[in-house]
Amino acid sequence: MSKMGRLGGLMLWLFVPAVAQLVGISGAEAQIYKYSKGDGTVVYTDNLAELPSERRVYYNERQAELEAKAREEESLLGAEEAERRRLEREKNEVAAAQLEEAERRERMAAIDAQIARYQAKKKRSDLDQKGWQRRMKSARDQLQGLLTKFRQKQAEHSGLATKANFALLPGQAKRQDQLAKELERLEVAIDAQIELVEVTLPEQARREGVPPGWLR
């Protein structure tokens, strides 16, 4: 089948619900899946059940890997909080202990310095969280815009492709060719944006010690 014929027969299901962008708002982000049908039709969907079995296996394995990394990161963050609480307990014990005043001051100052470092890190994290949320929201908004544009262009192209050549009005054949090229460019852009949202940004966040919840 020719490229024009394949695009002309392209049936695209795009179901991208409104995204709950900020932490604290209920609702999960819809993951976008992609597969090709036997005739070369490209399909973007958020319904995993629509995919052929081999593509479901691929996406399930990738999701399992991402969840394992998230659990590892959460476990490290939990250890850090446990250490902060241990320092608080040690501080209370030092305060209650029968120690020489000079020794008590020295030990309390050392513990306070460690606690201050944790508190400063927490303050920086609060600021970083807003920045990461803005980055992810911007990336998801761009993906939504690309998917919407793809759907619109596909609908227009399909409308022209169903017409016989003799029924096309002047300029419509040229427009059909333009739309075919635009759909190809959009497909590349959508794939890159999905990679950014679902792989690149989460991986970068993990490397920087960002809690997974910040990106949800």
Q: Which domain holds residue 202?
A: 3-72+127-215
Q: Taking residues 19-36, what's their average pLDDT? A: 54
Residue 120 lies in a domain: no
For residue 189, the model assigns a pLDDT of 94
- Tokens 């995993």 correspond to 48
For residue 79, being part of any structural domain is answered with no
What is Dmax (Cα atoms) for the chain?
Answer: 101
Q: Which of 63-72, 152-161, 180-189 has the highest mean pLDDT?
A: 180-189
Q: Is 195 part of any domain? A: yes
In the 8-state DSSP scheme, what is residue 54?
A: H
State mean pLDDT over 184-199.
Answer: 92
Mean pLDDT for 106-113 is: 78
Pairwise pLDDT comparison (115 vs 197), residue with the higher score:
197
Residue 110 lies in a domain: no
**pLDDT score of 127:** 52
How many domains are contained in the chain? Answer: 1
Q: What is the pLDDT of residue 187?
A: 93
Q: Is residue 116 part of a domain?
A: no
In a domain, residue 156? The reply is yes
How confident is the model over 113-121, as a mean pLDDT? 72
For residue 198, the model assigns a pLDDT of 87
Task: With H, G, I as helix, E, B as strand and everything else as coil, classify residue 203.
Answer: helix
pLDDT band for position 181 (cuts 50, 70, 90) = very high
Instruction: Specify if 93 maps to a domain.
Output: no
User: 44-58, 112-126, 176-190 — which is least confidently predicted?
Assistant: 112-126
Q: Are 55 and 35 in contact, with CB atoms under 8 Å apart?
A: yes
Q: At residue 96, does pLDDT exceed 70?
A: no
Residues comprising the chain, all counted: 216
Which one, of 14, 23, 24, 12, lies nearest residue 145 by Cα? 14
Q: Is residue 94 part of a domain?
A: no
| 173 membership: H or E segment, kind and range | helix 172-195
Reported as a single tens digit per residue, the pLDDT across 68-93 is 877 776 666 666 676 777 777 777 77
Contact 150, 12 (CB under 8 A): yes
